[in-house]
Structure 1
Amino acid sequence: MHTSSIDPGQIRAAAALIRSRVRRTPVLEVAGEDFGLPGIVIVFKQEYLQHAGSFKTRGAFTQMLRRSIPPAGVVAASGGNHGAATAFAAMKQGVPATIFVPSVASPAKLRQIRSYGAALRIEGDRYADALAASLAWAQRTGAAQVHAFDQVETLLGQGTVALEFEEQAPGLDAVLVAVGGGGLIGGMAAWYAGRTQLVGVEPEAAPTLTRALAAGQPVDAPTGGVAADSLAPRRVGDLMFPIAQRHVARTVLVSDEAIGHAQRELWRTLRVVAEPGGATALAALLEGRFRPPEGSRIGVLLCGANTDAVRFECQAEEQAA
């Protein structure tokens, strides 16, 4: 299957397939002035409330249910969230899972992966190292590779976020989405198909889609920054890229400081604990990298919460002191 298979009809079919296994996460409409942004309305899609703590669970279940899983089970490489989602879906489907993660994966995510019964292997310093190890494992054992962002099933599953968001909050003027490998924004772009302005938000230290769009193809980018365990895969996926070229309006880059500020503001204002990647989309508004016209209703995807809440609270207090 190719990019042509990633369309609204296929996304709707994926949503029907996984409906009983994922949560329909709620939305929350907030006055922009609550975040120091008067004149706009922010509509948050609370995908951090998804099983396993992120949107990745949608793609993982789509993989499990659309493919024939061999006796060796599944294998995945992940900065943490995709690994947790794959481990959770495998546990629910009763199949073995082996998850490769880089050393930058947060302790909270490692604990979560283990809690779902998966075999956890730490390999290398970055996602690309873990991916290479997982590919070798799949070749050696026959396990089914569940890619974090560059497989049709993954993109279809992540596209169900946009299907839900549009049903819950139709007519948004723009939707801000954090970008790592591009599975989420690629799937969402395939659903919205230009009907809504879709804006990718990336850390300055990991500008994967920004570099790709400038080059006209996926290219290597830096893989650092505070969100390196979720938004720094080296390059975006080949499958999502033509979809992004057609349907992603623009990308913006935000600083690590802005991401940290967004985390603290989510906690202060909504009592939401978001991981760095989960707060990145909001950072674009707070840092002024995306300035919507007055009267706009702006969708912001809060995509993950796999962090240690106690540690986050301590960090916030320390930085406020």
Structure 2
Amino acid sequence: MTRLERLLQDLALRLPEREIRKAGEVILAFRELSTVPVSPLYPRNFHPLLRLRKRLGGIDKEVLVSPIDLSIITNANMPAWKRIFDFHLDTDFVERTSIRGVECLLVGNKANLRRVYSLLSNLIPAMREPPRKIYSLGDEVYLKFEGDRFVKLKMIGSTLELEPYNIPLSQLSRIFGRATFILDSLFHAKNAAFYRLLFAVSLDTFGHFYEFFMKHVYPKLPPEHREFLEEMHDYRNFLQLLYFNLSRMNIDRVEDEVGIIIRRRSRPERPLELGILFREGRVEVSDRVSRAQINLLV
């Protein structure tokens, strides 16, 4: 008898028989999620525990299980450092399916699953490199790529948080491509890591960079910088020069700021500093830079 079979036998003493098969699927799903580095179940100095809940006679029956050890947890064998994850057998579901040809393991309630399906159906076709496998837990999605590379997408209302794992920005931009613009349109606010990716992807073409600049940078320019642009006969020429230089920089060195120094022939004594800052929820613009990556002479 395997450990899983023994565990299911023990669960049959605590839960209705009709729920045992589903409980087994849930345990295996959480066991698999515990191997994903960007998942909250990944055991970093703690033991992930699964609390199975079932409504019986107006009361929630609870059973604590270790998806790693495949055992029921009691006070006698309770890990010292633990994190407990709930799964309600009445309202939560595990789905093993395929979306746009990508194998998926999805865990959550019906609203979670609908939202994840909608997101992935829009996202996957636009990606340059589709993931090898996709996991989800509630409103979090984990994309797995070759070479132990992952991307976590966390949806909080109309906010998206992106978290790459083991993927430099240059690779991340190649993987997502125009899918980045789809994510940008689906969510009102994003985190700094996403805006950094959006900037990197915008450097693929001048058209995309122009859109990024006019949406995220131009409206926030300090007065002197805006005056400098508006005095030009056609400031697209300046933006093309800026794009030419930015597109040749080492994008993997970009952290939370892109620093630009603009040296004007008309006013050599007063160069302009332009900082593009990636912040939580927005892109900011500063007239001071901590480190200049680009120097322009115009």
More RCO (CA 8 Å, sep 6+): 1
**TM, length-normalised to structure 2:** 0.24
- Flag the structure with larger Rg: 2
**TM, length-normalised to structure 1:** 0.23
Structure ranking higher in strand proportion: 2
